Structures are given as structure tokens and as C-alpha cells.
């Protein structure tokens, strides 16, 4: 039996808002906290209309202090609430790093589950919107290295809402990264009401035989573009949107590279110590003898994200990804 | 401008009720405590002093690990705790194990905490978090716990403890500021024992008092004699009443001193404190002056004190024995409690360790 589900066309950021609204309605323990999330509806309008709908007791404008926002939310979480924190830009999370690294991620183990931190930290991340310094960082690998938290990155409206609801329902802390470059880059069908997309599962966006391409967030569009261009040249690409960066979907990674024998990983974060390195390791662990070419990584450079004048040169583009695919298939 | 600052600072003169000779010098501020309560508080202070002495020697024998001595701070720690309710939340600093014990933490768990055994952090039934290791981080969390209490309509407070060094952390200000903005029922206690390990309080800040930092956050601040049980108790009691009445948080600075080293891990206070200063503060001892007061009221005797000492020694012995019997920690036990549901990477690592552990 199939159930008819109404869907609505919306942008990624609207899907985030819809997910937040759904969970504020669903569970009275859910609170939103952050800078400008109340009356202003967030600088990207991700919380637009929510304060009006649910009141200041649940959609809370906080003082401008990231460590304080996360620390206070940890306190609320330990006291039975489900705080959803907005860090205005991922690059603003560094003052709260201590709270996340030394507490949010450790309280469950420290107290053997007596206290848990079912908190979601939402943060717009990545470059491409001509923002000032530190507004465009892709710092996901700092958090995939932290035991005790999960790191989730949607690349389209449907996943944004489904993964956000899964993150809110997850009993452990989740860092939910929203690719701001594609916040409003087109609309997609999003079901009304509550549904989830499972954390820890990648998604095959395109079926192919010759090379596997891994991407997440705003890089998914870049990877898809490169894959389509390469198809015209007769190279068939299997494109995987990883969607969760911790825990990584080892099964889908192994399955695709065992089919293609080649892999190209695309991320906009700096190359060294990036999540790409973990994917390479997993391919090595699971599929060493299947590989027909060295794995290519197309990434940002090992510099800070430059002033936005240079951001187009810094972020991987379709051309760089195509070159990497060519290199892999011609090895 | 200079005058304005001076005017602010002068509001934070130290409040004292019981002087060094055990005399009440501020009758008006004297809190109401029954004879039984007075004796119970003395019992706890004497017991805790014995626990401190025993812990230090157990540490020297290699039978305890991490330990931060508490002698000198009993009034700050225990009289502040005495003003709390069992359902109040404590977010302690690393030296604040005594408050946890009197809040219900079994002694053997305190010893396991000292030994780095993770059962020492598992405090079922005690409304408290584990002792804080990252200085100041608990202060913002206190604002959150307190806000949660307010949202739930509970008549309880969240209290946190830090030291003079902790008051230099950004989280100290952020926590007070958040709690103030939300009128959350929080109490921030700074036990100013004058030294953050070796750095004197004068080097922590140009502020003449730590209590005056409350002004910037728009909350109540008070500075009390931290060697005086009554001043400490009264300040916390009043702060608690105000918090529960929805009047917001309070910062309390208790002027105190730790007689011992920072911790038992090789700190040598003679490198940064003079014998004269030690002597000056030992004259202010919180137990000595409380004893004088109680004896003058006919509420305490040497015999009673000896009874407490003997009881403490017995219980410590039994608790050490129980701590010795605690099951050995295993890596797989730690892996099991990392997430509600284990991610695949940890499941694999668990298998690897479990093979090793079963050998």
C-alpha cells in the first residue's frame, strides 16, 4: 500500500525551516537558540517565522557568545531539553570548540549515559557567497575527528529536512552543516510533515561503471556537473553523495569502488587532514586489490579559505574534477 | 571616572559574621540555623578535614591518584552546600569533591574518581555533574541547567564553583551574562583562594574584587569571608531565595585559602607562597573559629569531635576497600557508552579490543 504524501517545492534553506517547524510542533522539548534566530529569523532566514509561531520561550535570541550558546545548550540538554543551536557561520564555531570537544561529545561516556547531549548544532558552511573572512570555512574535519559527535551534510532540500529531523531525534550530538552556497540554488520536492533520512547512509545520485566520485554539500553539484561532462567523453561515473561524514558509510564506499576500481574525492576543505583522507583509508581497508588507479582528491588548498576575491580559484570546480577523473581513468 | 570605579569597588567589602575568635560580629546578618543543623555542619567540616588528611597520605602511598587538597576551604565548600536542597544541581570544580560527597556521592566513588576509574564519574542519584577539569567550562553549562529548571518550573537552583583563576575565563563572564539575561536561577561561587596554581590573584585581573564582575553582567554580587561558615551560608541562602523568586543569579566570592598544594601531582607551594602568608591564613581557620563558637554555646566538645574523626577514618578505610574491589575498566566498556547506538567504525574497533581483552 502506498500512502499519498503531499509535497511542496522548496529551497534547501526553506526545507531546514520546515524541518525545524515540524520538530517544534512535534516535541515540546525542542528549543532553538542562537544569535538573531528570533525576531530576525536568522541571518539566512533559516528560522523565519518560528519565533512568531512558537514564542520567545522556545525560539531564543541569545547573547553574542558562541561558547555561551553551546555551553548553555549543553546545560539544557542535560536537563531534559533538545536544544537546536544555530552557529551563524561555521567559522564562528571556534570559540565554542572547547565546549564541544571537552563536554558535548564526552558527557554520555563520562556519566555512562546518565546525562546525554541530544543537541543539534546547525551551521551554514562553505564558500561561494562572497562573504568576509572566516564566514566561508569548511571545518568539518575538525569535528569528524571528535569521538562522540556525528557530522551530517545535506546537499538538497529533501535530504536537508529528512536529515535534520533525524539529527534532532538522534540521542547524541550532531553537527549539521548547511551548504550556504546552495541554500537557494533551486527548489526540490519536500514532503510535508515528518520523515527522516537515515544518518550514516550515503546516496548514489548517478549510476556508472568507470569511476566513483565522492562529494558532499555544495560539492555535489560540482561533482555531478563534472560527471555529466565526462559522460559525453565516454567515461561513466558513479556519483555518491556521502551525506554523513561521521560515521562514514563504509558499505557504499566499498561497494562503488569495487565496481569501478577508481575513485575521485571532492571537498572544499583543505586537502591535508580532510575527510578525503578518511575515505582513502576506508578504500584501502576494504578494496585495496580492486583498485586500478591511485585515488584522486580534489580539494581546497592547505591555506585558510582566502578572501572572497580568490574563492572561485580555491573551491574545486568542474574542470578540476574532470581533470582528476581523466587522470584516474587514463592511469 | 576613577571615582566611579572606586565607588563600585567599595560596594564589595567583605561580609563577615563570625570572626577569628569565634564571636558573632554581625548579629543582623546571622542566618537562622538550629542547634542540630549547626552540629551537622561542624560534623561535615571535621569529617572533610580528616578526609583531606587521609587522602593526602593515601596519595603518597600510591593508593589514590589525582587529588586536589581541600583543607582551609571547608567553610567555602560545605557551608555553601549546606544552604542547598538535595534537588539543586551542582556543577563543581575539580577541588569540589566534598560538596559532591555531602550531596550523596558515595566515598568509594570519590576515590575511584581520584584513581581515574570511570565509575568515579558515574554519580547516579546525585544531582551533580562530574568535577570540572577544563577551568570555567561548567559556568556556561550552569546557565543552561538553571534555565532548564526555570522552564520546568522547579523551585531549585544550579550552583557552580570555580576559583580565582576561573574568573579570568571567557566562559565565566558568558555564563553569568547568559544567566542574567534569562534571569535563570543560578549561583556562581568563586572560591578565591588567592592562587591559581602559582599565579596570585593580583595578576589575574586589575579588578580589586572578583565579586564586582557581577556588575558588568547586571547581576547581584557579594564578597564574603570564605573562612566564616555563617557568612558563606547566609550569602548562598539569600542567593538561592532570590533565584527561586525569579530575581536572577548571584555571584559570590568567598575569600579563602588552600593550605596544601594545588594538587598532589608535584606542586610545591613554597615556590610561590611565603610561610608568613600561610600562617596568616591558618589563623583564620574555618573549623577553629566555628568550634570556638559552638563550644561557647555548649554545642560541641572534644569528645564529639573525636567521635567524628574516628567515624571518618573507619568509613574511609571501608570505602578504600570497596574502591579496591571495583571491576577493572575495559576499553570495550568505554566504546559501549560512546553513542546510544554504536557507529560501524566503533563496532569494528570493539571487536578488535574484545578479542584482546578476552585473552
**How sure is the predictor about B2, in pLDDT bands with cuts at 50, 70 and 90?**
low
Query: What nine digits make up the cell of B108?
Result: 568509594
Whether residue B213 is found in the same domain as residue B304: yes
pLDDT at A211 (0 to 100): 98
Contact assessment for residue A216 and residue A125, using Cβ atoms and an 8 Å cutoff: no
Per residue in B260-287, pLDDT (tens digit) is 999 998 899 999 999 999 999 999 999 9
CATH 3.40.50.920 placement within chain A = 203-329
Residue B165 sits in a domain of what CATH number? 3.40.50.970
Q: B164, B200 in Cβ contact below 8 A?
A: no
- B144 and A65 within 8 Å at the Cβ level: the answer is no
How many domains does chain B fold into? 2
Indicate whether B262 and B167 sit together in one domain. yes
| Residues B321 and B354 placed together within one structural domain of the fold | no
User: What is the predicted pLDDT for the residue at A307?
Assistant: 85
Chain B residues close to A63, C-beta within 8 Å: 174, 177-178, 181
Question: Shortest Cα distance from B146 to chain A (angstroms)?
Answer: 8
Q: Where along chain A do the CATH 3.40.50.970 domains lie?
A: 7-191
The predicted-structure confidence for B219-259, as pLDDT tens digits, reads as follows 999 999 999 999 999 999 999 999 999 999 999 999 999 99
Determine the residue of chain A that is closest to B181 in CA distance.
A63
Q: Is B272 among the residues known to form the active site?
A: yes
Which three cell numbers, joined as nine digits, stand for B6? 572606586
Q: Which fold has domain A7-191?
A: Rossmann fold (3.40.50)
B68-107 pLDDT, tens digit each = 999 999 999 999 999 999 999 999 999 999 999 999 999 9
Q: What's residue A212's pLDDT?
A: 98
Element (H, E) at A156: none
Cα atoms in the 13 Å half-sphere on the side-chain side of A325: 33
Residue B304 sits in the same domain as residue B342: no
Grid coordinates of A315: 573551491
Average pLDDT, chain B: 95
A60 forms beta bridges with A33
Q: Shortest Cα distance from A78 to chain B (angstroms)?
A: 7
Query: Of B147, B302, B57, whose CA–CA distance to A68 is shortest?
Result: B147
pLDDT of residue A4: 63
Whether B68 and B134 share a structural domain: yes
Q: Are B302 and B354 members of one domain?
A: no
Task: Give how far B113 is from chain A: nearest CA, Å.
Answer: 11
**Are residues B308 and B345 located together in one domain of the fold?**
no
pLDDT at residue B15, rounded to an integer? 98
Q: Which of B103, B258, B273, B289 is catalytic?
A: B258
CA-wise closest residue to B207 among B251, B259, B159: B251
| Pair (B250, B198) in one structural domain | yes
Output the tens digit of pLDDT for each of chain A's 331 residues. Answer: 456 689 999 999 999 999 999 999 999 999 999 999 999 999 999 999 999 999 999 999 999 999 999 999 999 999 999 999 999 999 999 999 999 999 999 999 999 999 999 999 999 999 988 888 899 999 999 999 999 999 999 999 999 999 999 999 999 999 999 999 999 999 999 999 999 999 999 999 999 999 999 999 999 999 999 999 999 999 999 999 999 999 999 999 999 999 999 999 999 999 999 999 999 999 999 999 999 999 999 999 999 998 888 888 899 999 999 999 999 999 9
Identify the pLDDT of residue A43.
93
Whether residue A54 lies within 8 A of chain B, CB to CB, comes out as no
Do B217 and B355 share a domain, yes or no?
no
Measured distance CA(B267)–CA(B350) in Å, rounded = 38
Q: Is the ipTM of this complex over 0.90?
A: no
Residues of A in contact with B100 (CB under 8 A): none
The CA-based angle A17-A22-A27, given to 5 degrees, is 125
Indicate the class that CATH gives domain A203-329.
Answer: alpha beta
Estimate to the nearest angstrom the gap between the alpha carbon of B164 and the chain centroid.
13
Using CB atoms and an 8 Å cut-off, which of residues 337-356 of chain B contact chain A? 337-340, 343-346
Pairs of residues, one from chain A and one from chain B, whose beta carbons lie less than 8 Å apart = 134
**A267 catalytic, yes or no?**
no
- Domain span holding position B298: 5-325
Q: Do A79 and B148 touch (CB under 8 A)?
A: yes
Nearest Cβ partner for A72 among B89, B178, B344: B178
Which region, left, alpha or beta, applies to residue A262 given φ > 0 means left and ψ of -120 to 50 means alpha?
beta
Catalytic residue among B220, B262, B273, B289: B262
Choose the closest CB to A68 out of B123, B130, B174. B174
Q: What are phi and psi of B76, to 5 degrees?
A: -60, -45
Residues B157 and B11 in one domain: yes
Q: How far is B143 from chain A (nearest CA, A)?
A: 6
Amino acid at each position: 500500500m502506498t500512502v499519498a504524501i503531499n509535497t511542496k517545492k522548496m529551497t534547501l534553506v526553506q526545507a531546514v525551516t520546515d524541518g525545524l517547524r515540524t520538530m517544534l510542533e512535534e516535541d515540546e522539548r525542542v528549543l532553538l537558540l542562537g544569535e538573531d534566530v528570533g525576531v530576525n529569523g536568522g541571518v539566512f532566514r533559516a528560522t523565519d517565522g518560528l519565533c512568531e509561531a512558537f514564542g520567545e520561550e522556545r525560539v531564543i535570541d541569545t547573547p553574542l557568545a558562541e561558547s555561551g550558546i553551546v555551553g548553555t545548550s549543553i546545560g539544557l540538554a542535560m536537563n531534559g531539553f533538545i536544544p537546536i543551536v544555530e552557529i551563524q557561520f561555521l567559522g564562528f564555531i571556534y570559540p565554542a570548540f572547547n565546549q564541544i570537544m571537552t563536554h558535548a561529545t564526552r558527557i554520555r561516556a563520562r556519566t555512562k549515559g546518565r546525562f546525554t547531549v541530544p543537541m543539534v548544532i546547525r551551521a551554514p558552511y562553505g564558500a561561494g557567497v562572497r562573504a568576509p573572512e572566516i564566514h566561508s570555512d569548511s571545518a568539518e574535519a575538525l569535528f569528524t575527528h571528535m569521538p562522540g559527535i556525528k557530522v551530517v551534510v545535506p546537499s538538497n532540500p529533501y535530504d536537508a529536512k529528512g536529515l535534520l529531523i533525524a539529527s534532532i531525534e538522534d540521542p547524541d550530538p550532531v553537527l549539521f552543516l548547511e551548504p550556504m552556497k546552495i541554500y537557494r540554488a533551486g527548489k526540490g520536492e519536500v514532503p510535508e510533515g515528518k520523515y527522516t533520512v537515515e544518518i550514516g547512509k550515503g546516496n548514489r545520485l548517478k549510476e556508472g561503471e568507470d569511476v566513483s566520485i565522492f562529494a558532499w554539500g555544495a560539492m555535489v553539484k560540482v561533482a555531478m556537473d563534472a560527471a555529466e561532462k565526462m559522460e559525453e567523453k565516454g567515461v561513466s561515473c558513479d556519483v555518491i553523495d556521502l551525506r554523513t561524514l561521521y560515521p562514514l558509510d563504509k558499505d557504499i564506499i566499498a561497494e562503488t569502488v569495487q565496481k569501478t576500481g577508481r575513485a575521485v574525492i571532492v571537498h572544499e576543505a583543505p586537502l591535508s587532514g580532510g575527510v578525503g583522507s578518511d575515505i582513502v583509508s576506508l578504500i584501502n581497508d576494504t578494496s585495496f586489490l580492486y583498485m586500478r588507479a591511485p585515488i584522486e582528491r580534489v580539494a581546497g588548498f592547505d591555506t585558510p579559505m582566502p578572501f572572497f576575491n580568490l574563492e572561485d580559484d580555491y573551491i574545486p570546480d568542474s574542470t578540476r574534477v574532470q581533470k582528476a577523473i581523466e587522470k584516474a581513468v587514463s592511469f | 571616572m576613577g571615582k566611579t570605579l572606586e565607588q563600585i569597588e567599595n560596594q564589595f567589602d567583605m561580609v563577615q559574621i563570625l570572626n577569628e575568635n569565634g564571636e558573632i560580629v554581625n548579629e543582623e546578618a546571622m542566618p537562622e540555623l538550629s542547634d542540630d543543623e549547626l552540629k551537622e555542619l561542624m560534623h561535615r567540616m571535621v569529617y572533610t578535614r580528616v578526609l583531606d588528611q587521609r587522602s593526602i597520605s593515601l596519595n603518597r602511598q600510591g593508593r589514590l591518584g589525582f587529588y586536589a587538597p581541600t583543607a582551609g576551604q571547608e567553610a567555602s565548600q560545605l557551608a555553601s552546600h549546606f544552604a542547598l536542597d538535595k534537588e539543586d544541581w551542582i556543577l563543581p570544580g575539580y577541588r569540589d569533591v566534598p560538596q559532591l560527597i555531602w550531596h550523596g556521592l558515595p566515598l568509594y566513588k570519590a576515590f575511584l574518581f581520584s584513581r581515574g576509574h570511570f565509575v568515579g564519574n558515574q554519580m547516579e542519584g546525585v544531582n551533580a555533574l562530574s568535577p570540572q577539569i577544563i577551568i570555567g567550562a561548567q559556568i556556561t553549562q550552569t546557565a543552561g541547567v538553571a534555565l532548564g529548571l526555570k522552564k520546568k518550573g522547579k523551585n531549585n537552583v544550579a550552583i557552580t564553583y570555580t576559583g580565582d583563576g576561573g574568573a579570568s575565563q571567557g566562559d565565566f563572564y558568558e555564563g553569568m551574562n547568559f544567566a542574567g539575561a534569562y534571569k535563570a536561577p543560578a549561583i556562581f561561587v568563586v572560591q578565591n583562594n588567592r592562587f591559581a596554581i602559582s599565579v596570585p590573584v593580583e595578576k589575574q585581573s586589575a579588578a580589586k574584587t572578583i565579586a564586582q564582575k557581577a556588575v558588568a553582567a547586571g547581576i547581584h554580587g557579594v564578597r564574603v569571608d570564605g573562612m566564616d561558615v555563617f557568612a558563606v551560608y547566609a550569602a548562598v541562602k539569600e542567593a538561592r531565595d532570590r533565584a527561586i523568586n525569579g530575581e536572577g543569579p548571584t555571584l559570590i566570592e568567598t575569600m579563602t585559602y588552600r593550605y596544601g598544594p594545588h594538587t598532589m601531582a608535584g606542586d610545591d607551594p613554597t615556590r610561590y607562597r611565603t610561610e608568613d602568608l600561610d600562617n596568616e591564613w591558618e589563623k583564620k581557620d574555618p573549623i577553629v573559629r566555628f568550634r570556638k563558637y559552638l563550644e561557647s554555646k555548649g554545642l560541641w566538645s572534644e569528645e564529639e569531635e573525636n567521635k567524628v574523626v574516628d567515624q571518618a577514618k573507619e568509613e574511609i578505610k571501608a570505602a578504600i576497600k570497596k574502591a579496591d574491589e571495583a571491576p577493572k575498566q575495559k576499553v570495550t566498556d568505554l566504546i559501549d557508552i560512546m553513542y546510544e547506538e554504536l557507529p560501524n567504525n566503533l563496532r569494528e574497533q570493539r571487536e578488535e579490543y574484545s578479542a584482546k581483552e578476552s585473552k
